[in-house]
Amino acid sequence: MKAVILISGNGSNLQSIIDNTDRIDLQISCVISNNKNAFGLKRAESSKLRTAIIDPELYNSKDAFDRELISIIEQHEVELIVLAGYMRVLTPLFVSHYFGKILNIHPSLLPKFPGLNTHQRAIDASETAHGVSVHFVTEELDGGPIINQESVIIDNSDTEESLSMKVLKKEHVIYPKVIHWYTQGRLKLIDNFNATLDGKMI
């Protein structure tokens, strides 16, 4: 299955997907970044993948930016859009255009801690468990149906840095796994609140 991957930063999740493309039946048609300095672009180039950069400063609205994003994606006839550390909220225009075809990985046990700075917020809230969620993207930020989660324990000695490392290790396993479910046609988004795996509600 052909996919585009959207990134904004380091791209370690992109790397874990690249390293598993054969096993998960994925063909990465293009890696798109809103940040020209994203290290993930270098990773993509090292693997001979096509890349595109969309500079937000050249667009005067979020809709104009997302229209450009759509026009780039349309050149590739993809069936899946994978957000891998993509840091811009997608407009309703974009989300409705690709309804049921967008996956995101979020570094918390949703519905806890949607949005940003999840590791520090989990520590500040004295949580003992934390983790990662993969979900379908809908209009509501980090609010689409959760597909799969992995948890980690928060120790007293954990810092934002040490906790993010623990969670990233889980991310690099869970995301290729869920993407494989998708490429095998096992996952369907029904509506903004419901999805199925092998025909069963999740």
Give the footprint of ligand GAR on this chain (CB under 6 A): 9-13, 40, 84-85, 87, 105-107, 168, 171
Q: Provide the mask over 110-149, with x wherever binding to ligand NHR is found by CB under 6 A and - wherever it is not.
A: -----xx--------------------x-x-xx-x-----
Residue 106 annotated as catalytic: yes
Residue 157 CB, shortest distance to ligand NHR, in Å, is: 25
> Which pairs count as long-range contacts for 88-97, CB under 8 Å and 24+ apart, including other chains?
88/8, 88/34, 88/56, 88/62, 89/62, 89/141, 90/66, 90/137, 91/62, 91/63, 91/66, 92/139, 93/63, 93/66, 93/67, 94/66, 94/69, 94/70, 95/137, 95/138, 95/139, 96/139, 97/70
Q: Scanning residues 43 to 102, which ones bind ligand NHR (CB under 6 A)? A: 83, 86-90, 95
Nearer residue to ligand GAR within complex by CB, 43 or 97: 43
Nearer residue to ligand GAR within complex by CB, 12 or 29: 12
